[in-house]
């Protein structure tokens, strides 16, 4: 039996390099479209029926946190969204939700 691994050419289109392990992991997950990091996007701006209900949450996050970032993690149609930022004391806090985009 041949113990060599034959790579799938459609998967190995290239390779990623980086100066740190964390940056490499970020680049690989981004390449796979599994991770997206962006600036905070107001929930009340979403194109959904009840988006206006999120305005108090948006205002609270923007008034009480700095360095707001949004992390979207997932594949296909189900994603986890983490909105995180810093408090005035320097602690990181955030909220999370799951969405189903189809």
Residue 63 lies in a domain: yes
Q: Summarize pLDDT for 25-44 with one digit per residue, the tens.
A: 888 888 878 888 888 878 76
With cut-offs at 50, 70 and 90, classify the pLDDT of residue 2: very low
Alpha helices in 1-102 (DSSP H): 21-31, 55-64
Residue 12 lies in a domain: no
Give the CATH number of the domain where residue 54 resides.
Answer: 3.40.1460.10
All residues at 6 or more sequence positions from 70 whose CB lies less than 8 Å from its CB, including other chains: 37, 38, 39, 40, 41, 81, 82, 83, 84
Q: Give φ, ψ of 51 to 5 degrees.
A: -65, -30
Residue 1: is its pLDDT beyond 60? no
**Tally of domains in the chain:** 1
H-helix or E-strand spanning residue 83: strand 78-86
Residue 59 lies in a domain: yes
Q: Which domain holds residue 62?
A: 33-100
Residue 55 lies in a domain: yes
Q: Summarize pLDDT for 79-97 with one digit per residue, the tens.
A: 898 999 999 999 999 999 8
């Amino acid at each position: 039996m041949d113990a060599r691994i034959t790579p799938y050419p459609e998967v190995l289109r290239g390779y990623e390099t980086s100066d740190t392990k964390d940056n490499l992991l970020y680049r690989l997950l981004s390449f796979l479209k599994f991770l997206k990091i962006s600036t905070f996007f107001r929930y009340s701006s979403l194109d959904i029926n009840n988006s206006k209900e999120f305005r108090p949450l948006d205002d609270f996050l923007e008034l009480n946190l700095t360095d707001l970032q949004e992390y979207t993690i997932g594949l296909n149609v189900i994603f986890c969204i983490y909105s995180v930022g810093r408090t005035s004391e320097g602690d990181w806090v955030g909220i999370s939700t799951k969405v189903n985009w189809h």
